[in-house]
């Protein structure tokens, strides 16, 4: 892998440029945390439902961002950053969900920092839009553990990966969603949203997430040029006052030199291992995924848990389709994904569409 570090601008969220109405006082705590995550390696994901992103307009899940710092669970590097040691010390708390496939060949961790923004379709009125979703923001941080089993037969690749993640943060004005949207709309010369005074109240949020991914099929030569495919199944769930759901789905990838990763955001986690020296060819592939979700709790639709707030009747069954393309080389990856969601609440008049960009790299330790 090329030892030259990529520019840190790859880890800048889409709202990072200073503007008159988004003060340094609001941004400083988030950027101190973001700088800590960016040391050595980073994955940045940006979601937006604006039409230039491939979305269907500024409404509902209107945007979000996430930074991830991926690290090995164990490292003998004496110069390892203190934040990595803190994550490794906290990782045993994630053992509350046991592994079902025996001792993992290797374990990696991810430090997470992110934000999500939600608005109704009509952002021109300052009144509550009774038949649409509430204004809401969610600012969170978390720690995830990935246990990965790799099939020793590279021609078969019956790989399995377990993920456990614990997120905590805040919903409400403290999440700074209004300030972020105001700043973004100022930058792109879009109308300001006038209903943020009606957003959900401040509430701490806790979510425990778990997932199991498995590569159920793999073919290495669809054509003489080396076109390959694989099929990945994923079962997942979440438990918490922000989000409680169960889900299942599958992802089909077709392309050249498919990496042994399970998703674009995480990349090939073998690159994180001490002394990793993988000479993998560059990968270019397209992917399509489907997921069905049973939703028991969604604070962004159900409203605050402990006090009165605007809320809407949610749909308990939600489907999602995603289509995208990705390129990976030497630990660097970039991808675009377009998401299609069925109605999330009863009064919704059409499904949600939004685009997502991911840029990241893996730093070998």
Phi, psi angles (nearest 5°) of residue 93: -65, -20
Cβ–Cβ < 8 Å for 106, 148: yes
Residue 284 counted as domain residue: yes
> Among residues 296, 266, 215, 318, which one has the least CA distance to residue 66?
266
Per the CB < 8 A criterion, the answer to whether 266 and 110 are in contact is: yes
Question: Would you say residue 107 lies in a domain?
Answer: yes
**How do the pLDDT tens digits run along the chain, 365 residues long?**
333 333 333 333 333 333 333 333 334 444 444 444 444 568 899 998 887 777 777 789 999 999 998 888 877 777 777 788 888 888 888 876 665 555 667 888 999 999 999 999 988 899 999 999 999 999 999 999 999 998 889 889 999 999 999 999 999 999 999 999 888 877 877 888 899 999 999 999 999 999 999 999 999 877 777 899 999 999 999 999 999 999 999 999 999 989 888 987 777 888 777 766 667 788 999 999 999 999 999 999 999 999 999 999 999 999 999 999 999 887 788 999 999 999 999 999 889 999 999 998 876 54
Distance CA 158, CA 232 (A): 10
CATH number at residue 224: 2.40.128.140
Is residue 156 assigned to a domain? yes
* Cβ atoms 177, 105 nearer than 8 A: no
Q: How many domains would you assign to the chain?
A: 1
Residues contacting residue 332 through CB under 8 Å, at least 6 positions apart: 6, 360, 361
**Shortest CA distance to 265 belongs to which of 161, 336, 166, 353?**
336
Q: What is the rounded distance in angstroms from the CA atom of residue 84 to the CA atom of residue 73?
A: 9
H helix runs in 107-212, sequence order: 177-187
Name the 3-class secondary structure at 95.
Answer: helix
Give a yes or no: residue 1 inside a domain.
no
Residue 49 CB contacts under 8 Å (≥ 6 apart), including other chains: 55, 56, 57, 58, 59, 60, 61, 62, 63, 352, 353, 354, 355
In whole angstroms, give the CA distance from residue 77 to residue 81: 9
d(CA 226, CA 270): 23
User: What is the spatial distance between Cα 189 and Cα 185, in angstroms, rounded to a whole number?
Assistant: 6
Residue 143 covered by a domain: yes
Structural domain span for residue 244? 8-361
| 61 is a domain residue | yes
CA distance 233 to 229: 14
Q: Is 257 left (phi over 0), alpha (psi -120 to 50) or beta?
A: left
Does any domain span residue 317? yes
In a domain, 3, yes or no: no
């Amino acid at each position: 892998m090329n030892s030259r570090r990529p520019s840190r601008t790859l880890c800048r969220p889409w709202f990072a440029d200073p503007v008159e109405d988004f003060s340094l006082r609001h941004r400083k705590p988030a950027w101190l945390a973001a700088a800590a995550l960016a040391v050595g390696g980073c994955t940045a994901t940006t979601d937006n439902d604006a039409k230039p992103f491939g979305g269907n307009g500024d409404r509902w899940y209107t945007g979000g961002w996430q930074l991830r710092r991926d690290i090995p669970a164990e490292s003998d590097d004496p110069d390892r950053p203190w934040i990595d040691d803190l994550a490794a010390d906290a990782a045993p708390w994630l053992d509350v969900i046991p592994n079902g496939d025996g001792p993992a060949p290797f374990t990696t961790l991810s430090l997470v920092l992110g934000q999500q923004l939600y608005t109704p379709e009509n952002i021109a009125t300052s009144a509550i839009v009774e038949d649409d979703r509430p204004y809401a923001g969610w600012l969170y941080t978390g720690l995830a553990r990935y246990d990965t089993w790799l099939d020793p037969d590279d021609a078969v690749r019956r790989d399995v990966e377990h993920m456990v993640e614990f997120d905590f943060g805040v919903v409400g004005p403290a999440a700074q969603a209004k300030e972020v949207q105001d700043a973004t709309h100022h930058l792109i010369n879009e109308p300001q949203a006038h209903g943020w005074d009606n957003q959900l109240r401040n509430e701490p949020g806790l979510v425990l997430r778990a997932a199991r991914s498995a590569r159920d099929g793999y073919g290495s030569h669809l054509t003489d040029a080396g076109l390959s495919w694989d099929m990945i199944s994923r079962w997942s769930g979440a438990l918490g006052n922000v989000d409680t759901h169960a889900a299942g789905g599958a992802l089909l990838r077709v392309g050249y030199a498919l990496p042994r990763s399970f998703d674009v955001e995480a990349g090939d986690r073998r690159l994180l291992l001490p002394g990793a020296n993988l000479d993998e060819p560059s990968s270019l592939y397209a992917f399509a995924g489907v997921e069905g979700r049973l939703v028991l709790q969604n604070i962004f639709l159900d409203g605050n848990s402990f006090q009165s707030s605007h809320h809407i009747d949610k749909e308990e069954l939600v489907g999602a389709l995603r289509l995208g393309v990705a390129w990976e080389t030497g630990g660097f990856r970039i991808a675009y994904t377009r998401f299609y969601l069925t109605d999330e609440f009863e009064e919704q008049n059409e499904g949600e569409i939004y685009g997502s960009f991911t840029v990241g790299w893996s730093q070998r330790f």
